[in-house]
Structure 1
Amino acid sequence: MNKNFLYTAIGVAMLAVSVSSCDNSKGGKGPAAYESNSVEKASHVIEYTNLLIDIANKQNSYITRVAENADKIEKGLKNPSDRFAFIGVFPPSYFESPRAFNKVKPDEPVDELSSDDKKFFKEKWASYSASFKKVQDQYKQLSDYLKAEDYKDDKSAKGLALVDSIRSTTQQLMAEKVVLMKKVNEIADASEVIVLKESPLKDYIIAMKGDLKAVRDFVELVESSEGDYNAIKPKAEAAYAALEKAKEEHSQLNMDNAKKERKDGYYKSFYDRVGDFLIEAKKIMRDSAEKGKINENQAETLGRSYDSLISAYNSFNS
């Protein structure tokens, strides 16, 4: 399954600033409700929206592997006598890191959100989480079914039904994610304008956000090649060159403000990871050009590198 489908709802991670606040934002609706917020209130709103994006990104690799495995398993169930029917099907795993007691939680929208938006996130996150859990449960059933080789008893009937259920639930999950991320981005953008206006870290944040988007666009471009890498090779090379140039420029920004805020180490770490991404991308581009396509492992490597950059970006802003 093309991972572009799974990236539809994933936006570049927003600014996360851990600043406490005691006031509520109750006036107005939509993004307008946050225009008069203080920096502290805007920061707390962004901390919450960033958390939702961070979780969605971390879940993405699991969902991708489930979708890819479902395709392989379906093919195997239709020809189970083939001794290679289920070769290469490895169970995906997902582990959510525990959060500190005083940190924001996805199922507890922060008080700085408007009443309407608190209600929205409370309901939509619960629904999205239920769909994600349902995918996990369905895939567990399918894995157990394969381990027990029950397809030998029912001519693969239950297995094929589970594959269909997984696809249906995944479609629902991604539709819910689109709705969630649209609201997240609207609110975070409105709040970010307030925070960046007075932030001594503004130049660094803008640089990192721009390069995160460039990395994401590059990954999506390469993955969109659909088995014909050379069809997008010129665009990939141009995107790579632009990212390489941006990395050189942004990694050399004046670090005085970053040092004052004790963020210079985090900033360097981010661009060290951009450098690692570029090295890995160059190898994959070379190999893909020779073979004519990018394989699943290479696509996953790029995806993991992107996730690593998001983590480094969030560390800078925490």
Structure 2
Amino acid sequence: MNKTFLYTAISMAMLSATVSCDNSKSGKGPAAAYENNSAEKASHVIEYTNLLIDIANQQNDYITRVMENADKIEKGLKNPSDRFAFFGIFPATYFERSRGISKVKADEPVDELSSDDKKFFKEKVASSSKAFTKIQDYYKQLQDYLKAEDYKDDKSVKGLALVDSIRSSTQLLIAEKAVLIKKVNEIADASEAIVLKDSPLKDYIIAMKADLKSVREFVGLMENGGADYNSIKDKADAAYAALEKAYGEHSQLSLDNAKKEHKDSYYKLFYDRFHEILLETKKTMRDGAEKGKLTENQVENLSRNYDYLIERYNSFNN
């Protein structure tokens, strides 16, 4: 299952290579309301936008598993007499991670947002949450349907209808998230420009964001071409070499300023994880070259690794 459907929107907000956008400087556009904020206010806005991105990523992981299972279940429902019809379908569960001492909540937009944006986030967070809950509900009904083996009574009619409902609800959530994250992008860029202007952490943040963008592009390459690995091998090799080079440079930045802000351990954790991902990815690429393709699990693991890096980035910025 290709995870790009939500990452396209998420990446726009999370991984802009620059630290600001032209609109925030010109006093025009949606970001204009934030260009005069203090660094403290801008940091609070970023904490809120990071939370929305983190939740979107967690939900994306859950939806990916649900959609993978829905595909398998649909196939089984069309041939339920096969004794392996529903073999290997593992339950998809969703647990929202604890965020420690942070008091920011997705459904309570921070006061530092403009009144219009507070209203926007209040409405969009509620509607996207409703769409996500609907997916969970339909999937729970489908699980109960399979456990009771009700497909033997109605010739799989209800089960196939539930699969269709899961897919249509997922498309609705995609639309909701695209609008939500577009706004996150605009506000986060404007606020980040303020925070980074005179920040001792500027170089670290720019380095991590650039590497996250490169990792996301690499994962996208593997997602889209992994089924015929030899067709993308040269591009994959070049992209991997660039990642190694960036790791070598960015992991060796002086941590003097990070230590003063008590952020050196978070920065090191980011690049420790980056290093482990590079080692694991090298094995995956070797396997792809030998077999001519990547497995669905290998591609999914690359996406999960990207998620872990985002978590490390958010920890640095919290």
Shorter-normalised TM range = over 0.9
| CA contact 2:35–2:190 (8 Å) conserved in 1 | yes
Q: Unmatched 5+ residue regions in structure 1?
A: 16-26
CA deviation profile, 1:273-310 (whole Å, cap 9, x unmatched): 00011111111111122222221221221122111111
Residue 161 of structure 1 corresponds to: 161
Residue 19 of structure 2 corresponds to: none
| CA contact 1:104–1:110 (8 Å) conserved in 2 | yes
Structure-2 separation of matches of 1:44 and 1:225: 39
Residues 195-204 or 231-240, more deviating: 231-240
Structure-1 separation of matches of 2:293 and 2:75: 21
Partner of 2:107: helix, strand, or coil? coil
The alpha-carbon deviation at position 12 of structure 1 amounts to: 6.5
Letter in 2 for 1:285: M
* Correspondences of 1:66-105 after superposition (within 5 Å): 66-99=66-99, 103-105=103-105
Residue 23 of structure 2 corresponds to: none
Residue 258 of structure 1 corresponds to: 258
Residue 62 of structure 1 corresponds to: 62
Partner of 2:225: helix, strand, or coil? coil
Q: Unmatched 5+ residue regions in structure 2?
A: 16-26
Residues 243-252 or 83-92, more deviating: 83-92
Residue 267 of structure 1 corresponds to: 267
Residue 20 of structure 1 corresponds to: none
Letter in 2 for 1:293: K
CA deviation profile, 1:133-153 (whole Å, cap 9, x unmatched): 110110011111111111111
The alpha-carbon deviation at position 259 of structure 1 amounts to: 1.4
Letter in 2 for 1:95: F
Residue 290 of structure 1 corresponds to: 290
CA deviation profile, 1:3-28 (whole Å, cap 9, x unmatched): 2223222227759xxxxxxxxxxx98
| CA contact 2:52–2:106 (8 Å) conserved in 1 | yes
CA deviation profile, 1:76-110 (whole Å, cap 9, x unmatched): 11111111111121111110124457511000000
Structure-1 separation of matches of 2:75 and 2:269: 43
Normalised by the length of structure 1, the TM-score is 0.93
Percent identity of equivalent pairs: 76
Residue 249 of structure 2 corresponds to: 249
Letter in 2 for 1:53: I
Structure-2 separation of matches of 1:247 and 1:253: 10
Residue 118 of structure 2 corresponds to: 118
Structure-1 separation of matches of 2:156 and 2:226: 29
Structure-2 separation of matches of 1:40 and 1:109: 16
| CA contact 2:13–2:186 (8 Å) conserved in 1 | no
Residues 109-118 or 232-241, more deviating: 232-241
Partner of 2:10: helix, strand, or coil? coil
Residue 22 of structure 2 corresponds to: none
Structure-2 separation of matches of 1:287 and 1:276: 17
* Correspondences of 1:1-318 after superposition (within 5 Å): 1-11=1-11, 14=14, 30-99=30-99, 103-225=103-225, 227-318=227-318
Structure-2 separation of matches of 1:254 and 1:109: 36
Letter in 1 for 2:94: Y
Structure-2 separation of matches of 1:63 and 1:138: 12
Letter in 1 for 2:92: P
Structure-2 separation of matches of 1:92 and 1:13: 27
Structure-2 separation of matches of 1:14 and 1:74: 34
Letter in 2 for 1:273: R
Structure-1 separation of matches of 2:244 and 2:226: 25
Residues 173-182 or 223-232, more deviating: 223-232
Residues 84-93 or 160-169, more deviating: 84-93
Letter in 1 for 2:127: S
Partner of 2:227: helix, strand, or coil? coil
Residue 19 of structure 1 corresponds to: none
Residues 3-12 or 137-146, more deviating: 3-12
| CA contact 1:12–1:209 (8 Å) conserved in 2 | no
Structure-2 separation of matches of 1:100 and 1:285: 36
Distance 1:312 1:279, change over 3 A: same
Letter in 2 for 1:46: I
Normalised by the length of structure 2, the TM-score is 0.93
Partner of 1:227: helix, strand, or coil? helix
Residues 136-145 or 29-38, more deviating: 29-38
The alpha-carbon deviation at position 182 of structure 1 amounts to: 0.3
Q: CA RMSD in A?
A: 1.7
